């Protein structure tokens, strides 16, 4: 029983890590896109409209 519990715990930790990294990557990509759009548009109020 303890073995199954530890496997379940490891699976949960891996899932949490993958979810955190995935979310961070998406946010990072979005921020890069925003910077690109801001550079192309060359607007002053671009940082406010995040």
Report residue 46 CA to chain centroid gap.
22
Domains of the chain: which residue ranges? 24-50
How far CA 13 is from CA of 1, 17, 22, 24, 34, in Å, comes to: 19, 6, 14, 16, 32
pTM of the model: 0.51
What was the pLDDT predicted at 34?
A: 87
Residue 48's pLDDT is 58
Q: How confident is the model over 1-50, as pLDDT tens digits?
A: 678 999 999 999 999 999 999 999 999 999 999 888 888 877 666 655 55
């Amino acid at each position: 029983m303890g073995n199954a519990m530890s496997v379940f715990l490891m699976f949960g930790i891996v899932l949490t890590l993958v979810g955190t990294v995935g979310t961070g990557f998406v946010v990072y990509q979005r921020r890069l896109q925003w910077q690109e759009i801001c550079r192309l548009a060359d607007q002053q109020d671009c940082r406010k409209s995040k």
